[in-house]
Structure 1
Amino acid sequence: MTDAAIAWDTYSRQQPARRPVNARGETTWFNWTQYPDHGPGAELLDLPPGGRVLDLGCGKGGNAAHLATLGMLATGIDISAAQLRSANERWGHLAGLKFHQAEAISFLRDTADSFDAVYSVYGALWFTDPARLLPAIRERLLPGGRLAFSQRPPVEGCYGCQASYIPRGADEDPLVVKRWDYEPDAWENLLAEHGYMDVRATVLEAPPGTRRVGTLIVTARA
């Protein structure tokens, strides 16, 4: 098992499962932000009926499951076996949905499939070198296909490759994974440099009445 897989297995054990229903009483839904019942939904992906869609870093699978219930052919990949066990236990019965344990770039290079949309919600787009990942994604997107991802905005002055820490036991050092942080305009320039069009990067404010950070949401087309 790789260090990254160990780190994300550890993270998985610390995260609660998705709620049985959301505030509207729905059993599946799409959530781009770190806050419940906040922000846009699956419309950001602009998928055609029955479209093929890839979730890079699907975690416990809730977003991919929602797309499957909309009639999409949804594939979720994650490096963590623990995350995928949870995903399959809850959502594995859904038609049009499949999960694979894989690292993002390896999967994109090995698959023969092409996709109408590729997305990442606090997933592989945050934790993989974009200089390597963005070209690999573009190779698997159909012409005009949508790339969309979300993550925390960067801390001012802390850009590029940063360290994220995943806590363990009281007597253990935290696990470290790399993440890539950029301001919205830097993401727009980076995506344009890799041949993406219609690039838009914005920070969605946190829900009203809070003093917490917002969510960086980026969309582009191949």
Structure 2
Amino acid sequence: METDTAAWERYAEGRTPRRAVNSAGATTWLNWTQYPDHGPDESLLGPLHGRRVLELGCGTGCNLAHLATLGAECIGVDIAPGQRWKAEERWGHVPGLTFHTAEATEFLTSSPDSFDAVLSIFGPVWFTDPQQLLPLVRKRLAPGGVLAFSHKPPGDDSEPVGPLREARAVSRWDYSAGEWADLLARTGFTNVTAEIIPPPGSESPGTLLVRAETAERGGAGLVRRKARPA
């Protein structure tokens, strides 16, 4: 059976590079959904200037590069070796931006660093056992830090395709908004919001977007659950 790394590497080879400029004329931008120029922006992560940000499953680094241009100190991690080369070729000139090749849980286990925000856009949070991943993320987040991630809602089986179906990498944790909210709360996260962002126009499906925080030192948070149909 093909390894996870090899499967993701072959999958990445078939992906179309992101456009150089979006519909607003910007050369960098953050896209939480599977549709271009759609959905919320980076404000979901809170203040960014001077903050440390980790993206799990950063791919070619386009989302993370945008955060670096806003003054964040950014680290990107991806399991596919070729993605690091592509990311560095396109974004290596951006200050405060570094990329690593590693599996998400291995990086979180070995890294001594803490982060103010961790994001995963159709990335490892969707493809890694959350019982293993979420405690590692929480351990690496600073007090008041933010975890935000997105993936397709449960029931959509259009991706991944091709080589990923031949490897364990195809495993997905297709939890609903409410299930993610409960799991995050049990893992010790606070101020949890989970909702389905409606698709643009007549497109389908929507995008499940989840945000949670670690408690401030000496503080406690609330758990809020929101879910809208796709």
When the two structures are superposed, what TM-score results if normalisation uses the length of structure 1? 0.91
Alignment of 1:103-114 (within 5 A): 103-114=103-114
Q: Which has the higher strand share?
A: 1
**C-alpha distance after superposition, 1:43-88 (max 9, x if no partner):** 1111342100000000111011001111110000000011111111
Contact preservation (8 Å) 1:7, 1:166:
no
Structure 2 residue aligned with 1:217: 209
Structure 1 residue aligned with 2:128: 128
Query: Which amino acid in 2 is paired with 1:193?
Result: R
Query: Which amino acid in 2 is paired with 1:217?
Result: L
Structure 2 residue aligned with 1:202: 195
Take 1:113 and 1:163, find their aligned partners in 2: how far apart are those partners? 36
Number of aligned residues: 211
Unaligned stretches of 5+ in structure 1?
Answer: 157-161
CA gap 1:13/1:111 in 2 versus in 1, 3 angstroms = same
Contact preservation (8 Å) 2:146, 2:212:
yes
Take 1:143 and 1:199, find their aligned partners in 2: how far apart are those partners? 15
**C-alpha distance after superposition, 1:63-114 (max 9, x if no partner):** 1100111111000000001111111110111110000001111111111110
Take 2:205 and 2:68, find their aligned partners in 1: how far apart are those partners? 30
Contact preservation (8 Å) 1:56, 1:104:
yes
Take 1:211 and 1:48, find their aligned partners in 2: how far apart are those partners? 31
Take 1:189 and 1:145, find their aligned partners in 2: how far apart are those partners? 19
When the two structures are superposed, what TM-score results if normalisation uses the length of structure 2? 0.88
Structure 2 residue aligned with 1:193: 186
Contact preservation (8 Å) 1:164, 1:179:
no
Unaligned stretches of 5+ in structure 2?
Answer: 215-230
**C-alpha distance after superposition, 1:6-57 (max 9, x if no partner):** 1111111111111000001000000000000000111111134210000000
What displacement does 1:147 show?
0.3
Q: CA RMSD in A?
A: 1.8
CA gap 1:51/1:68 in 2 versus in 1, 3 angstroms = same
Which SS does the other structure have where 2:144 is aligned?
Answer: strand
CA gap 1:99/1:130 in 2 versus in 1, 3 angstroms = same
Contact preservation (8 Å) 2:48, 2:67:
no
Structure 1 residue aligned with 2:166: 175
Take 2:138 and 2:150, find their aligned partners in 1: how far apart are those partners? 17
Alignment of 1:144-183 (within 5 A): 144-155=144-155, 165-168=160-163, 174-176=165-167, 177-183=170-176
The share of aligned pairs that are identical, in percent, is 50
Which SS does the other structure have where 1:12 is aligned?
Answer: helix
**C-alpha distance after superposition, 1:141-192 (max 9, x if no partner):** 0001000000000018xxxxx9965315xxxx95232111111001000000
